[in-house]
């Protein structure tokens, strides 16, 4: 009887948590998502974590590569902002404070925190090899921010954290503090945007959106396939997809190839616009 009562209270608490969220629509894909944290709260947490990260990291002293990262990043950011303005999402622009930094580290990695705070590790550049491939990576990272994947993962953690607790405790925290303050509670327990692992669905969505964003910025999206093939060849981690948060390289490449015809339409449109401006 006690177990059943606890189950009922837990279920009710979970439903209450779900009802506290807001519904958001992901640009480009149109996917609906329920978020328990607001953009302003996430941006504040992200900005602080990014500032702390830069204090603990060493910026690259390679001026040419640093300029490359900043140039490509800003070009993508401009294309993304133009898209959002033209598609009824101008209000979201207030939550983006773009920043692009190259970190002196041999890791083959990059990340984007909410609000457009991006870090690229020097170890990634030998794999990207060219500007267009770097744009594919940055487009993917920017897509995580635009699709609010961090807020989505944070909301999932909140639901997991409180979904199994006693109703009174949960409702007291939800009703008394509000969803935005719960985000701070999650952050205080060690939630890190820099080390955040997204779901495979989030990764696939970021792949698709990043491919299109790169095309919008005038970069040939077809370089994405050979880039990921190079990433696959350079990786020693051959974990099966069902055991990993990230998609397998083969599945990732297959989905990128399937999305290529649509991305090329954006690329051709961007090239046409660029040609018109030159005349």
Q: Which of 99, 141, 203, 205 is catalytic?
A: 141
- 141 noted as active-site residue: yes
CB burial readout 176-202, b (16+ within 10 A) else e: eeebeebbeebbeeebebbebebebeb
The CA-CA-CA angle for residues 150, 31, 115, to 5°, reads 30
CA–CA separation, 32 and 41 (whole Å)? 20
What does 106-158 look like in DSSP terms, one character per residue? --S-EEEETTTEEEEEGGGHHHH-SHHHHHHHHHHHHHHHHTTHHHHHHHHHH
Q: Please list the active-site residues.
A: 141
């Amino acid at each position: 009887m006690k177990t059943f009562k606890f189950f009922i209270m837990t279920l009710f608490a979970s439903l209450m948590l779900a009802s506290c969220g807001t519904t958001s629509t992901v640009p480009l894909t149109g996917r609906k998502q329920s978020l328990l944290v607001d953009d302003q709260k996430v941006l504040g947490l992200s900005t602080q974590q990014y500032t702390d990260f830069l204090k603990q990291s060493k910026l690259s002293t390679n001026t040419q590569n640093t300029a490359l990262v900043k140039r490509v990043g800003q070009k993508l950011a401009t294309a993304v902002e133009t898209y959002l303005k033209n598609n009824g999402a101008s209000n979201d622009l207030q939550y983006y404070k773009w920043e692009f930094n190259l970190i002196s580290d041999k890791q083959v990695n990059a990340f984007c925190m909410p609000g457009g705070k991006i870090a690229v590790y020097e170890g990634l550049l030998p794999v990207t090899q060219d500007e267009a491939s770097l744009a594919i990576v940055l487009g993917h990272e920017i897509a995580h921010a635009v699709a609010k994947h961090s807020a989505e993962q944070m909301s999932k953690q909140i639901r997991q954290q409180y979904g199994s607790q006693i109703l009174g405790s949960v409702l007291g925290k939800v009703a008394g503090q509000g969803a935005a303050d719960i985000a701070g509670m999650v952050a205080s327990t060690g939630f890190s945007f820099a080390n955040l692992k997204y779901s495979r669905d989030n990764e696939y969505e970021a792949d698709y959106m990043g491919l299109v964003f790169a095309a919008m910025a005038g970069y040939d999206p077809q370089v994405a396939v050979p880039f990921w093939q190079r990433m696959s060849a350079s990786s020693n981690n051959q974990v099966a997809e069902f055991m990993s948060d990230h998609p397998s390289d083969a599945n990732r490449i297959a989905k990128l190839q399937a999305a290529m015809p649509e991305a090329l339409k954006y690329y051709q449109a961007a090239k046409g616009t660029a040609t018109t401006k030159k005349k």
